[in-house]
Structure 1
Amino acid sequence: MQLIVEDDYNLHEIPRTENQQPLLISASINIRNILEVDEKDQIVSMETTLRLYWKDPRIKPKYEALSSYDSRGNYTNLHSSLANTIWMPDIFLDHAKTIRTPTFFSKPASLRVYNDSTIRYSARINFDVACNMDFRNYPADDQSCELKFQSFGLQRSQVHFTWIPNSINVNEHIYLSQFVFRIHAMDSYSTDYYDISYPGLKLQLHLTREIGYHIVQTYIPSTLFLVLGWMGLFINPDSIPGRVGMGTTTLLTQTSMFSSTRAHVPKVSYVTYLDVWMLFCMFFVFSTMVEFISILILIRQKRFKLAKKVQRLTRLTLPCIFMLFNLAYWPNVMYERWTGNHWAHNHIK
């Protein structure tokens, strides 16, 4: 046995503290990987290593067992299965959908006891956690996800959690295809939605979407189809099959593009910036079809001069309307993006 344990030790009792103060439990975390950001299900998958430190004066390592040393002092390594025989914090991950342990033969965890009775428990956990997302500014949106590590049964008067300063280690090789991310350890908190206040820790993940994908895959192609619909105005009205075929094909293609882009986000009741863009493009192409039908009606009524005036007017006004729309659309998109990044810069450092 590598430990000296008091005879009346009870693993169901919280370690005693001076002046009956809440037991301080310090934590650090290593973000090993962000596996996936599932926007449709609003779930983030992560690989982490969580470490907890606390003092239990009822347990001390034997002098001859102090075989290792780090910045905290001398310590002895114990098998992680011995954690079942000592008092452990009852911490859990709030809003977690799935928690996985990447076990090969034994659980990836370690247990240390320092010469000053400090206990460190470290474990590797992978999890899928719910993240409430707001897509109003999509595809120039910023998302903030809170990871809450909370005590299940111990009250605020019994334990106090805190992050160790500068202890949030993030793998610099993590790369997300559509997001730039920042991670920030927030101050400890206590629940305010129960009759009893339970302490915990927060870790905030801030995601800023890279808009380049949608510019190449959505904005540029939809603009080309919009220009193609406008160019149809220069086709002779006598060429009815050509005008109708070009207009309907362009409108159907844009509708299909709109449906494919909406398939990547949840079915939300509000309108996003991308919805505004796609709806405008569809309305633009639809207006070219309305112009063509109006011209045909005027020609059949033998009002040729009015038909030519309407034709010239629409050829000039439609591109002007498109330019005005862009002058109103993109400043709003960039403003929302700048304000989101500005908020993240001030709150996540």
Structure 2
Amino acid sequence: MGEMDHLTQEEFTSKLTDSCRYDRLIKPTVPQLLNVDMQIDLTHIESSEAQQMKSYILVQLGYKDNRLKYDSFSPKRGSIQGEEPLRDKIWSPHLTVRNERESSLMGLDGKDIFVQILPDGEVKYSYRMTLTFYCWMNLKKFPFDCQICGITWVSWSYDTRNLRLNWSGKDPVQIARNLHLTEFVLDSFWTEAGEVPASFSTGGLVGNYSALTFKFKLRREIGYYIMDYFLPSMFLVATSWVTFWLQADASAPRAVLGTSTMLSFITLNGGLTKNLPKVSYIKASEIWFLGCSTFIFCAMAEFAFVNVIWRRKKQVEVKKASSKHILIGAVTPSLARKHLRRVESLNSLYKTRSCTNLDENDENEKSISQNNYLTVHSFPTSIHSIPTIRIPNSSQDELVNIEDSVTTIPVPEKGVGKHQTTQGWTTMTPHEVAIWIDKKSRIVFPVAFIVFNLFYWTFVYAL
């Protein structure tokens, strides 16, 4: 070819890549595998759709093509630089992204492609691309999750017997300093190299192909979800408790408040989950939704319960003025309560017993005992005890001690409490029971919700 320092770059590259000495359809001939070094610069990344990420990447490939070596016949010429027209004249490796959804080369007036050829035949091929790739996420802890995503580049037409991809030994991945993910935080990243099998068993693509993978760990930002989901849902649950301060017969305001709170919370949750994939497992956000929905529903059920009690006409009989017995008395039907009282009356009968010794000097030392029972059904409330009763039984009554054969049965006095009956039961009006349930609900519901929060936030941060 002779000395060519006087030629322009266009003339020189045309002679250098002339078809008589250069075939751009064939990879460079090397004694062993053709090694292609790769380096990437990640300038932007964001969440595109469910299970998809979008990124802007600058890719640089380096390899050696001895057919482009020109230091012997153009020693004064420096490196040759060009864009897409120069790339079309030479061979360049064809790489694909294994988990891509779509990709394209970026550029305003043309494609952002840059090619540099050094005198020793070293080629640097760079291009800027927009890449949308799949990132299969595990959303069990959403929105408190951390995800590991990756981008895998694979050689397209040359298997591992002809071409090998390697990460550049010096800083293979560059991350832009101003890189900011709106929903995630980039915790760490690393690179991997390996092989992937071909999809087909016959044809020109049979074999294993060299692959490079860039993996990174993303941690989801929780601030958005705290302000736009968790705090509003807490306020909605607390709003449902306002019904406990309204009178039980205020059906319209209590019903409207309960239903509107439930519908508002369902709408709030729908805005959170509309962009999420339909997965079969339960997410952490769904556990929160089920818990808050349960509290709102229980507040509505409490209103229905106290409203039914408020509208009762008969008084409620309870065994004791305690939480357990008041709830049992409010729930138990009146017939069941009457039966319970009847059973207790039968169990509270008073029994008396008198014993008589018939013959103290009998040589067989026999004794005869006689039991006498007195069943008491009812007594006047003004009588405090039963008069003394003497029971004549036989001719031997004189041997019976008067004090032993007489029993005094005490009758319980009239209760000291406000509504206590003769059998120790307490009577409450339906209004008193309804008001009592509302007062207890004002304490039970907030305490239960606090306990639920303790378990929930411990679960999401401990696991």
Aligned in 2, Cα 1:65/1:328: closer, same or farther, shift over 3 Å?
farther
User: Based on CA coordinates, which of the two structures has the bigger radius of gyration?
Assistant: 2
Aligned in 2, Cα 1:13/1:287: closer, same or farther, shift over 3 Å?
same
Structure 2 equivalent of residue 169 of structure 1: 174
Would the aligned equivalents of 1:233 and 1:311 in 2 still touch at CA under 8 Å? yes
Aligned in 2, Cα 1:12/1:183: closer, same or farther, shift over 3 Å?
farther
Residue 11 of structure 1 pairs with residue 24 of structure 2:
yes
Structure 1 equivalent of residue 47 of structure 2: 37
Would the aligned equivalents of 2:198 and 2:209 in 1 still touch at CA under 8 Å? no
Residue 98 of structure 1 pairs with residue 109 of structure 2:
no
Structure 2 equivalent of residue 323 of structure 1: 450
Would the aligned equivalents of 2:184 and 2:220 in 1 still touch at CA under 8 Å? yes
Measure the CA separation in 2 of the matches of 1:211 and 1:61.
Answer: 57
Structure 1 equivalent of residue 142 of structure 2: 138
What secondary structure is seen at the aligned counterpart in 2 of 1:156?
Answer: coil
Aligned in 2, Cα 1:66/1:206: closer, same or farther, shift over 3 Å?
farther
Measure the CA separation in 1 of the matches of 2:290 and 2:208.
Answer: 48
Structure 2 equivalent of residue 347 of structure 1: none
Measure the CA separation in 1 of the matches of 2:53 and 2:234.
Answer: 33
Letter of the aligned partner of 2:233 in structure 1?
S
Letter of the aligned partner of 2:218 in structure 1?
L
CA-to-partner distance for each residue in 1:23-72, whole Å, 9 max, x for gaps? Answer: 111011111222x31243x22121111100011122213434633xxxxx
* Number of equivalenced pairs: 325
Structure 2 equivalent of residue 219 of structure 1: 230
Structure 2 equivalent of residue 54 of structure 1: 63
Measure the CA separation in 2 of the matches of 1:185 and 1:286.
Answer: 48
For structure 2, the residue ranges without an aligned partner over 5 or more in a row are 1-11, 202-206, 317-429
Alignment of 1:1-349 (within 5 A): 1-2=12-13, 4=16, 8-18=21-31, 20=32, 22-34=33-45, 36-40=46-50, 42-62=51-71, 63-64=74-75, 66-67=77-78, 75-164=79-168, 165-182=170-187, 184-192=189-197, 194=199, 196-301=207-312, 302=314, 303=316, 304=430, 306-336=433-463
Shift of 1:149: 1.0
Would the aligned equivalents of 1:162 and 1:187 in 2 still touch at CA under 8 Å? no
Measure the CA separation in 2 of the matches of 1:13 and 1:207.
Answer: 41
Structure number with the higher strand fraction is: 1
Measure the CA separation in 2 of the matches of 1:65 and 1:202.
Answer: 40
- Percentage identity across aligned positions? 24
Measure the CA separation in 2 of the matches of 1:89 and 1:271.
Answer: 45
Q: CA RMSD in A?
A: 2.2
Shift of 1:172: 1.3
Moved more, 264-273 or 47-56: 264-273
Higher RCO, Cα 8 Å, sep 6+: 1
TM-score relative to the length of structure 2: 0.65
What secondary structure is seen at the aligned counterpart in 2 of 1:270?
Answer: coil
Measure the CA separation in 1 of the matches of 2:277 and 2:230.
Answer: 20
Aligned in 2, Cα 1:132/1:306: closer, same or farther, shift over 3 Å?
same
CA-to-partner distance for each residue in 1:53-107, whole Å, 9 max, x for gaps? Answer: 011122213434633xxxxxxx322443232332221211223222222333332
Would the aligned equivalents of 1:146 and 1:205 in 2 still touch at CA under 8 Å? yes
Structure 2 equivalent of residue 70 of structure 1: none
Measure the CA separation in 1 of the matches of 2:187 and 2:60.
Answer: 21
For structure 1, the residue ranges without an aligned partner over 5 or more in a row are 68-74, 337-349
Shift of 1:270: 2.2
What secondary structure is seen at the aligned counterpart in 2 of 1:28?
Answer: strand
Aligned in 2, Cα 1:184/1:276: closer, same or farther, shift over 3 Å?
same
CA-to-partner distance for each residue in 1:189-220, whole Å, 9 max, x for gaps? Answer: 21146452111111123221110111111111
Letter of the aligned partner of 2:48 in structure 1?
D
Would the aligned equivalents of 2:117 and 2:124 in 1 still touch at CA under 8 Å? yes
Aligned in 2, Cα 1:248/1:199: closer, same or farther, shift over 3 Å?
same
Measure the CA separation in 2 of the matches of 1:279 and 1:39.
Answer: 25
Aligned in 2, Cα 1:246/1:153: closer, same or farther, shift over 3 Å?
same
Letter of the aligned partner of 2:443 in structure 1?
L
